[in-house]
Structure formats: structure tokens, C-alpha cells
Amino acid sequence: MNSLIRLTDIQLVLLATAAQRDNGSLLPPPDAVGEGPARIRKVVEQLIRRGLAAEVDLPSGADAWRTDGLRSIGVVITDAGRAAIGVEPEEAEEPATDLPEPEVTPIAEAPSPAAHSKSALVLEMLRRESGATLDELISATNWLPHTTRAALTGLRKKGNAIDRRKRGEVTCYHLGNQA
């Protein structure tokens, strides 16, 4: 195993299981993992961010990681993921037998995983001409009020100029011109 890449037990299990599957899919997770869907989602997102897994278009009926309109998107192990667990990429070149083979077309110039984060959503909302109220940010992110305010503070600390204005009687937050 590559000593430079540190993996948690659950990451190892997901990658090893995917490497053994003919289609390389991380889903469904093996029963031995014993983690809930929220934990699995978080671990898979980490693997995607690290380049050890990638999103691909799937045929309908396969285990989808997420959907985008009518598209089913799955998650498969990458060559970097195979290398991280010490599996040669050539070992995975067998034809599929039990699951449909995913269409191995990477999502066309997908934005970085950070673009799908809640912080990125907050920044996007702050860029709007109307900005965003605290209540709008809370309902979009599903955060508590104190968490939302802390996120705004964190964005300021990262160098984003966040201005407060009034929209009627309500305080509205806007992203300044330097961001």
C-alpha cells in the first residue's frame, strides 16, 4: 500500500470492495461497513475530493450516488484509488457479470467538489444582486442560526468582503467587490 496516502477503515473497505467489483462501483456499500447513509455519503465525498473515486454517468437502474435531472450519477474507484490500496489497475479490466457497466464518461468538466459545498452555496447566494438574509441562508444550508453566522465570519476571515445592507426591515448580506 502507498504509505503517503492515509485511509480510514471505512475508506479502505469501500475502495477494496469497489476494486473487487467488475464495474468499480463504490455503491452499494458492503453490509460489513455498518455505517448510516449520512456517514457513507461523507466518506465518499472525501474519496472524490482526494481523487480516489470519481463520478460517472450510469445506465438507469444502477445504484446511483446522486441524480441530476434524468441523469443517474454513480461513483467508481479511480486508478489513484486502486494504487492507494495496492491494487494494479490492470486487475480491474474484466467484463462485468452481475451489475451493469457504468458508462465511464467523466462528468464534463465538473466543478471542483468544493463548488458543491454549503460554503460555496452561501457565497453564490451572497453574490446575488439582492444578497441573502440570514433566514434565506439558514433555509438553504439547513444550518442553525449560530452556525450560519459563524460561516459568514469564516468567509470574512478567508478574505471575502461581506457587507450588511437593509432590504426593507431585514438585514441582508452581500459579497463585496473584491471576492
pLDDT digits (tens, 9 = 90+) for 56-112: 887 766 667 788 777 888 888 998 888 888 887 644 444 444 555 555 555 544 444
Q: For the chain, what percent of residues have pLDDT higher than 70? A: 78
The pLDDT, as a whole number, for residue 104 is 52
Q: Is the pLDDT of residue 174 over 70?
A: yes
If you search the block for the grid coordinates 465570519, which residue do you land on? 153
The pLDDT, as a whole number, for residue 37 is 80
Separation between Cα atoms, residue 179 and residue 128, nearest integer Å: 13
The pLDDT, as a whole number, for residue 135 is 92
> Do 133 and 167 meet the contact criterion of CB atoms below 8 Å apart?
yes
Tell me which H or E stretch contains 118.
Answer: helix 118-127
| DSSP-assigned letter for residue 95 | P
Separation between Cα atoms, residue 179 and residue 164, nearest integer Å: 15
Average pLDDT over all residues of the chain: 78
The pLDDT, as a whole number, for residue 95 is 44
Cβ-based neighbours of 71, under 8 Å, separated by 6 or more: 57
> Do 23 and 102 meet the contact criterion of CB atoms below 8 Å apart?
yes
Q: Which residue has the higher pLDDT, 92 or 165?
A: 165
Global pTM reads 0.48
Using one digit for the tens of pLDDT, what is the confidence trace for 128-159?
Answer: 888 999 999 998 888 898 988 888 888 888 88
Least confident of 12-26, 49-63, 111-125: 111-125
